[in-house]
């Protein structure tokens, strides 16, 4: 069994991708040191050295060896700490492939479009983005029905890979709903996914990891203020 000694996570409390790794570490009961990166101000020398290709969080450092990209890190955790708690990925090869497909869909479709809504200007532009998000969440609602097999989570009776892949976004989903003045996880439209979200946020593994929407909105205000100051300093 791999030990938990020498494990660090370079990340941020507000990063959905860092939260994803934290969820996996918590499920596997892996002790680690969390190194907060204030990525919207500057990037530490340690981060740049650990992830010279993408230069972004999260980075898991295990026995002084860096592992980058959140989904890659989650799979690494599952493979290294096999004796710690339940498996994160499904045991069946086909089900693992399906899980990876949908996790990629969430990262490549859902996350960028949520960012679009946060910056969309005007009712028409917002309506177009909301339409895309409704389509994505409807597909995920259908995927949940199919792959949960009538159980509480994507992973079955307990949380797993796809629960972490989507669950890490839930704080930002709620913040985006407030910013956009819309309801994305609507019970009337995606009842199964809305129910899953409530169960996931109530799960012990998600507590103290998924940030609350008001805290994220406060952070957005701080970042916008910093951006404004930077623009002003460039002008003067």
Same domain, 109 and 209: yes
Question: 29: domain CATH number?
Answer: 3.40.30.10
pLDDT band, residue 177 (cuts 50/70/90): very high
Number of separate domains in the chain: 2
Of 46, 80, 114, the domain-final residue: 80
* CA 108/CA 131 separation, integer angstroms: 17
Helix (H) or strand (E) holding 61: strand 59-62
Assessment of whether the complete model's pTM goes beyond 0.75: yes
* CA 98/CA 104 separation, integer angstroms: 10
Average pLDDT, the chain: 91
Q: Which token pair is 60?
A: 């898991």
Evaluate whether residue 30 is within a structural domain. yes
What pLDDT digit, counting tens, does each position of 183-212 carry?
Answer: 999 999 999 999 999 999 999 999 999 999
CB atoms within 10 A of CB 199: 15
- Structural domain containing residue 199: 93-214
The share of the chain scoring above pLDDT 70, in percent, equals 93
Same domain, 101 and 136: yes
Looking at residue 46, what DSSP letter applies?
H
């Amino acid at each position: 069994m791999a030990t938990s000694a020498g494990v660090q996570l370079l990340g941020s409390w507000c990063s959905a991708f860092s939260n994803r790794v934290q969820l996996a570490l918590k499920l596997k009961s892996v002790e680690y040191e969390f190194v907060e990166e204030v990525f919207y101000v500057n990037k530490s020398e340690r981060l740049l050295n650990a992830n010279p290709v993408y230069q972004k969080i999260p980075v898991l450092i295990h026995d002084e060896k860096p592992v980058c990209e959140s989904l890659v890190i989650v799979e690494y955790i599952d493979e290294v700490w096999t004796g710690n708690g339940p498996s994160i990925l499904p045991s069946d090869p086909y089900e693992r492939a399906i899980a990876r497909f949908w996790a990629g869909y969430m990262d490549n479709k859902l996350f960028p479009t949520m960012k679009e809504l946060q910056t969309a200007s005007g009712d028409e532009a917002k309506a177009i983005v909301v339409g895309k998000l409704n389509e994505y969440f409807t597909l995920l609602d259908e995927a949940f029905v199919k792959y949960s097999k009538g159980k509480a989570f994507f992973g079955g009776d307990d949380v797993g890979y796809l629960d972490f892949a989507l669950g890490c976004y839930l704080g930002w989903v709620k913040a985006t709903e407030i910013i956009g003045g819309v309801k994305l996880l609507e019970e009337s439209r995606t009842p199964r996914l809305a129910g899953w979200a409530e169960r996931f946020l109530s799960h012990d593994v998600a507590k103290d990891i998924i940030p609350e929407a008001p805290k994220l909105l406060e952070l957005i205000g701080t970042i916008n203020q910093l951006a404004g100051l930077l623009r002003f300093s460039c002008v003067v």
